[in-house]
Amino acid sequence: MKQHPLLPLLRDYALISAGVVLQALSMVLFYIPGHLAAGGVSGIAQLIGNYTGWPIGKLYIVLNVPLLALGWRYLGGRRFLTRTIFAVLSYSIAMDVLTVWLPKNGLTSDSILNALYGGVIGGIGVGLVLRGQGTTGGTDILVRLLNIWRGIPYSQTYIATDVLVVFAAGLSFGWELALYAVVALYVGGVAAEFAAEGVRATRTVLIIYGRYHG
């Protein structure tokens, strides 16, 4: 049975939509109330918003504009741009809407829980967006470029590109919270890699048994 040509497109946009909602949830429920820098453009927008009170969703759009040009050039032209603009706008809207409707103080004050749950939920969201052949801009663009050019895993790239943001967060929120942010970033990178690529590695366990003769 021949597949309708629109089905893959609808599938991709459904994955992108689900992914950006999960990323927005991780920000509103865990990162922002827990004062954990999300890394990348989201983290920069979070830091600016913390000092200025400006909406983080709108800051996210403004900060993404220069990176969209880079993605247009190397990640698929119009196809990339339409999907990324859709993802960036959806993420911004979801952030601002969820900020109004969800608890301002999040679900917990425990930094470990905020780091773990924020990392996992946000990472799965990133992975779904990447699986839908899109990005939410910012660090996601750099992640895809380095993965395509050098084959560098998502988890490693996220850590490398977010170091400066975490350092700035340490100056703003304190170094203890910055360390928790590093945990969240690593967990998020692993979750993103799993959600985007699935289980592709095969692990072999070799058990060597010998009798001891004393």
d(CA 26, CA 43): 12
The contacts of residue 82 (CB under 8 Å, 6+ apart) are none
- Predicted confidence at residue 38, as pLDDT, reads 75
d(CA 184, CA 207): 34
Q: Residue 105 to residues 27, 33, 38: CA-CA distances in angstroms?
A: 12, 5, 16
- Predicted confidence at residue 22, as pLDDT, reads 96
**138-161: per-residue pLDDT in tens?**
776 777 777 777 777 766 776 676
- Predicted confidence at residue 47, as pLDDT, reads 84
**5-26: per-residue pLDDT in tens?**
678 889 999 999 999 999 999 9
- Predicted confidence at residue 77, as pLDDT, reads 66
- Predicted confidence at residue 19, as pLDDT, reads 94
- Predicted confidence at residue 76, as pLDDT, reads 64
> Would you say the C-alpha torsion 155, 159, 165, 170 has a positive or negative sign?
positive
Residues of the chain with pLDDT under 70: 1-5, 76-77, 140, 154-155, 158-159, 161, 198-214
Nearest CA-CA partner of 107 in 92, 121, 93: 121
Extract the runs of DSSP E, i.e. beta strands, from 35-171. none
- Predicted confidence at residue 193, as pLDDT, reads 83
Domain ranges of the chain: 6-197
Tokens 């799993």, residue?
Answer: 194
- Predicted confidence at residue 203, as pLDDT, reads 42
